[in-house]
Structure 1
Amino acid sequence: MKIFSKEQIYKGDKLTAERQNISSTDLMERAGTQIFNWLHMRMQGAQVPIHVFCGIGNNGGDGLVIARHLITHGYNVKTYVVNCSDKRSKDFLINYDRIKNVTKEWPTLLKCEEDFPGIKPEDIIVDGVFGIGLNRPVDDWVKALFVHFRKTKAFTLSIDIPSGLYTDKPVEDENAVVQAGFTLSFASPKLVFFLPETAKYTAQWEVLDIGLDQEFLLTTQAEAELIGKHEVLPNYIPRDKFAHKGEFGHAMVIGGSYGKIGAVTLASRAVLSAGAGLVSAYVPKCGYLPLQTSFPEAMVITDRNDETIGNIDFNIKPTVIAFGVGTGQEQETTKAFEAFLKTNNSPLVIDADGLNILSKHKQLLELLPESPTVITPHPKELERLIGSWADDFDKLTKVKAFSKKHNLVIVVKGAHTITVFDEKLYVNSTGNPGMATAGSGDVLTGIITGLISQGYHPLVASIFGVYLHGRSADIAVADFGYQSLMASHIIEYLGKAFIDLFVKPEPRQQQESEKNAKTSNKKSRK
């Protein structure tokens, strides 16, 4: 699913009006009606008080459309106009006249805190104050209105985006943003629904189809894409009946140190579970027995050192190499990594201490192979690589620049892991808080490595691997719960995640699945 910028959405609205020979007022009617239908289907005429707050722009016009339909269908509605400016949009004024034709109770004009209505916790608030066009701080009394919303504890439904939230810059004052229980977004979700600093302003969201021009939707290149089953399935490479293990590559995992051989074991297991034909683990001598006994499917090559990696030397030609899980950052290990990079031509996936070594010795970035190298940093590892950032937008700008400069696929791990390459963002939709557990990142490294081994491009392998990693955890968490989910469970359920790609949900299940995929609950991933 494409995630359009506000400029692209404005363009889509304009093109739709031109190509479908409709007015902007008609398009507003279409949008407001869709939200009314969403509410009507769930409320079925229930007489819960509904408070519709409308700004004086197009978002407010949407609110007036919703209020008018609620009134004509017999709902208990109170409509308010938040008079935050002397300027009114044309479509707002048209819909203001229309609502006056269906009720004797005209919208109440709010101009200051003394005008705020009483709202009970069991009431419903519909927030149509500001839309995506907001480009200035809100007035103090409007900020007080948003605080009033929160204090009432009433369920709040926002139109398109929570009022006060910008689409392209950080929040300046959290009290100046509506805290939405649900947001109904037109045509496309907004990138801010997935960023750590701004996702908290809407607990859940859903996209409504308002009939934008299909050619625009299909041909416009979005700044970001939300990755779900439908996005990854076309990239799946099926297996031939007569296939053999040699066709799926020989991956190598280089890592481990005394007390951290488990990281290599997890990554190596994930490599094979993701579909690689063969996997070799290159570890210090202390890792030989643990790996051979706990994971017999792996071949093991040992370093000359007993407890750390000190001399990376092997006589095979791996299809892809993962480096860094559990290695430590000893001086000897750093030198071995540098020597290895000078001669290596295999595609690379670098994680954990491999990233920490790169952050301390950035000249090593110039030694990476021509094929895009995949790096999988968590926030602190990312900060060591690219420096600190002022906010999430600044972070993404720096990640894009770093990716382009060094030809890297950067997997920015988090609740909504974002894969960055060639200045485009791929936002993952799977995963849950149970993934905040030791070894989860090692498993992700192994999955991506295993996919590259089979011939997936590093970018595709990263996007697909992140999705499978999260989907496996989503399936596993039903059996283990958040607290008891372990990294090894993600590996064990990876097969079910693959099978799930081809399972068509029942209509009700599909509805719930889409709802879950569009839910911006706080999730964590190591």
Structure 2
Amino acid sequence: MNIFSAEQFYQADAITIQKQELGPTDLMERAGVQVFNWLHSRMHGAQVPVRIFCGIGNNGGDGLVLARHLIQHGYNVHTYVVNCSDKRSKNFLINYDRVKQVTKKWPTLITSEDGFPEIHKDDVVVDAIFGIGLNRCMDGWVKAMVQHLNAAGAFILAIDMPSGLYANAPIEDPEAVVKANHTLSFQLPKLSFFMPSTGIFTNTWEAIDIGLDPEFVMTQPPIATLLHKQHILSWYQPREKYSYKGTFGHSMIVGGSLGKMGAVVLATRAALRAGSGLATAHVPKCGLGVLQTAVPEAMASCATEDSFLDAIPLEATHTYGIGMGMGMEDGSLAALDQFLETQEAPVLLDADALNLLASKKELYAKIPPQSVLTPHPGELKRLLGDWTDDFDKLQKAQAFAVEHQVVLLIKGAHTCICTPQGTLINSTGNPGMATAGSGDVLAGMITGLMAQGYPSWQAAAMGVYLHGSSGDIAVQQLGYQALLASDIIDNIGNAFIKLFEVEQPPQQQEEEAQ
């Protein structure tokens, strides 16, 4: 599913209206009807007060279309116009008049805090104040209006996006943004749904089809793409009957230091669970016994030093995942430098390998093209430098991926996979995965997928998606607090199986749950 900028959505609207020969309000009517259908299918005529707060632009017009259809179907509707300016869009005015034609209870104008209605926690609030057209932070009594809605404790449904958010830019004032329980985004999601500082303003979202021109939607280069199961299935490489372990590659996990052998254990196990036919862990001498005991399926080799790595063997047929628990010894930096000097195939660089790179930035030029970098937030900052906000961070990460021709991850609730061709945003995972060793598991999974012959960017995207899916399966059994990194490994197989399960339509799921 593509993610567009606000400017692209404006283009999509204009092209749709032109190509489909729509009247000035036809697209707005279509959008409002889709929101009505969604709400009607869940409320079934219930007389719960529905309080619709409309701005005076096109988002408010969408809200007025919804109000009219709810009124015509006998719902208990209360419509309010947040009269924040003397400028009104033409489509808003047309739909304002249409509402007045179907009810004697005309929309209530709100012009100050004195006009704020009482909202009960059992009401349904519809936020149609501002959409993608918002170009400044809300202030004054309009900001107070937003705070009034947020404080009511009612269910808030946002039309297209929560008022106060921008589609693809940071917010100035978090106190001036509606906190929606659910958002119905027109056609496609917005980038702000997935950034940590802005995604908190909608608990859940779904895209509803308003019939935007399909050619534009399919051919317009997106600012990002939301990663879904269909992507993974399209890349999945089935196993041939007469294959053997050598068919599926050899992962070389390089890392560990005194007291940090667990990271290599997790990564090696994950590489094998992800399908790598063979795996070797290259560790300091102190870790040799640990690895051969903890991961009997893997081979192990060791450096000459006892407590840290001072050499990385070069094997042309192996796929390398380097850095887990590696430490920051000068000898390890020299070993990494020497390895990168001669390595040509893509590698995965994680944890301390990235910290070592950041300490000697001239090594960036030695990173093999299409390598995968998997930093945590602190390591990412050492690579990129400071950023001003989540959107700036994404731009800098994407620029880094293009400049160095690598795949760079921004790990988090919606991990971003920045590739030289563009950005993918993950849709799986949960807060229970914020636990020690989770990143080591991810690095091992990606290494194992690269070893099987998946292109680096596909291996990174598949690894991130399956890693999150494994965590989602595990958390159903254990809960957020009890989830361990090894539980993620134990469910990698279940995540692969889940790829091939037939998903039920949402309505059927709801019926069976009842």
**TM-score over 0.5 (shorter chain):** yes
Equivalent residue for 1:453? 451
- Contact 1:303/1:312 (8 A) holds in 2: yes
**Ranges in structure 1 where 5+ consecutive residues have no aligned partner:** 513-526
Equivalent residue for 1:420? 418
Equivalent residue for 1:34? 34
CA distance in 2: counterparts of 1:13 and 1:238, whole angstroms? 41
Cα deviation digits, residues 56-105 of structure 1 (max 9, x gap): 11000000000011111111111111111111111111101100100011
Equivalent residue for 1:411? 409
1:443 to 436, 441, 451: 441
CA distance in 2: counterparts of 1:116 and 1:153, whole angstroms? 15
Cα deviation digits, residues 110-163 of structure 1 (max 9, x gap): 111111111111111111110101111224110010011112111111110101
1:511 deviates by 5.4
Name the SS of the counterpart of 2:125 in structure 1. strand
Name the SS of the counterpart of 1:198 in structure 2. helix
Equivalent residue for 1:359? 358
Equivalent residue for 2:337? 338
Name the SS of the counterpart of 1:410 in structure 2. strand
- Contact 1:51/1:80 (8 A) holds in 2: yes
1:367 deviates by 1.0
Name the SS of the counterpart of 1:444 in structure 2. helix
CA distance in 1: counterparts of 2:295 and 2:174, whole angstroms? 50
Equivalent residue for 2:503? 505
**Ranges in structure 2 where 5+ consecutive residues have no aligned partner:** none
Equivalent residue for 1:214? 214
Cα deviation digits, residues 214-260 of structure 1 (max 9, x gap): 21222222111111111221010111111112221111011011111
Q: Alpha carbons of 1:194 and 1:401: their partners in 2 closer, same or farther (altered >3 Å)?
A: same
- Contact 2:248/2:277 (8 A) holds in 1: yes
Cα deviation digits, residues 458-495 of structure 1 (max 9, x gap): 00110111000000111111112111111111111111
CA distance in 2: counterparts of 1:375 and 1:387, whole angstroms? 16
Matched, 1:383 2:381: yes
- Contact 1:249/1:277 (8 A) holds in 2: yes
- Contact 1:127/1:163 (8 A) holds in 2: yes
Equivalent residue letter for 2:190: K
Equivalent residue letter for 1:366: A
Cα deviation digits, residues 292-345 of structure 1 (max 9, x gap): 11211111111011111012235x323310110011101111111111111222
- Contact 2:49/2:123 (8 A) holds in 1: yes
Name the SS of the counterpart of 1:7 in structure 2. helix
2:427 to 415, 426, 429: 429
- Contact 2:160/2:186 (8 A) holds in 1: yes
Equivalent residue for 1:295? 295
Q: Percent identity?
A: 56
1:404 deviates by 1.5
Equivalent residue letter for 1:211: G
- Contact 1:386/1:402 (8 A) holds in 2: yes
CA distance in 2: counterparts of 1:509 and 1:122, whole angstroms? 23
CA distance in 2: counterparts of 1:347 and 1:213, whole angstroms? 39
Equivalent residue for 1:522? none
CA distance in 1: counterparts of 2:346 and 2:196, whole angstroms? 31
CA distance in 2: counterparts of 1:267 and 1:17, whole angstroms? 52
Equivalent residue letter for 2:454: Y
Equivalent residue for 1:81? 81
Matched, 1:18 2:18: yes
- Contact 2:168/2:190 (8 A) holds in 1: no
188-197 or 260-269, which deviates more: 260-269
Equivalent residue for 1:188? 188
TM-score by length of 1: 0.95
Name the SS of the counterpart of 1:334 in structure 2. helix
Aligned residues: 510
CA distance in 1: counterparts of 2:151 and 2:470, whole angstroms? 39
CA distance in 2: counterparts of 1:509 and 1:300, whole angstroms? 51
Equivalent residue letter for 2:56: I
Equivalent residue letter for 2:173: D
CA distance in 2: counterparts of 1:162 and 1:90, whole angstroms? 22
1:471 to 464, 469, 472: 469
Equivalent residue letter for 1:322: G
CA distance in 1: counterparts of 2:40 and 2:221, whole angstroms? 34
- Deviating 4+ runs (over 6 angstroms): none
Instruction: Tell me how large the CA RMSD over aligned residues is.
Output: 1.3
Equivalent residue for 1:348? 347
Equivalent residue letter for 1:438: A
Cα deviation digits, residues 28-74 of structure 1 (max 9, x gap): 11100111111111111111111111111100000000001111111
- Contact 1:325/1:353 (8 A) holds in 2: yes
1:168 deviates by 2.5
Name the SS of the counterpart of 1:251 in structure 2. strand
- Contact 1:400/1:423 (8 A) holds in 2: no
Equivalent residue letter for 2:108: T
Equivalent residue letter for 2:246: G
- Contact 2:54/2:79 (8 A) holds in 1: yes
TM-score by length of 2: 0.97
CA distance in 1: counterparts of 2:219 and 2:506, whole angstroms? 31
CA distance in 2: counterparts of 1:499 and 1:264, whole angstroms? 26
- Contact 1:252/1:281 (8 A) holds in 2: yes
- Contact 2:158/2:183 (8 A) holds in 1: yes
- Contact 1:84/1:139 (8 A) holds in 2: no
CA distance in 2: counterparts of 1:155 and 1:191, whole angstroms? 23
1:431 deviates by 0.5
Name the SS of the counterpart of 2:475 in structure 1. helix
CA distance in 1: counterparts of 2:345 and 2:112, whole angstroms? 65
Name the SS of the counterpart of 1:300 in structure 2. strand
Equivalent residue letter for 2:83: N
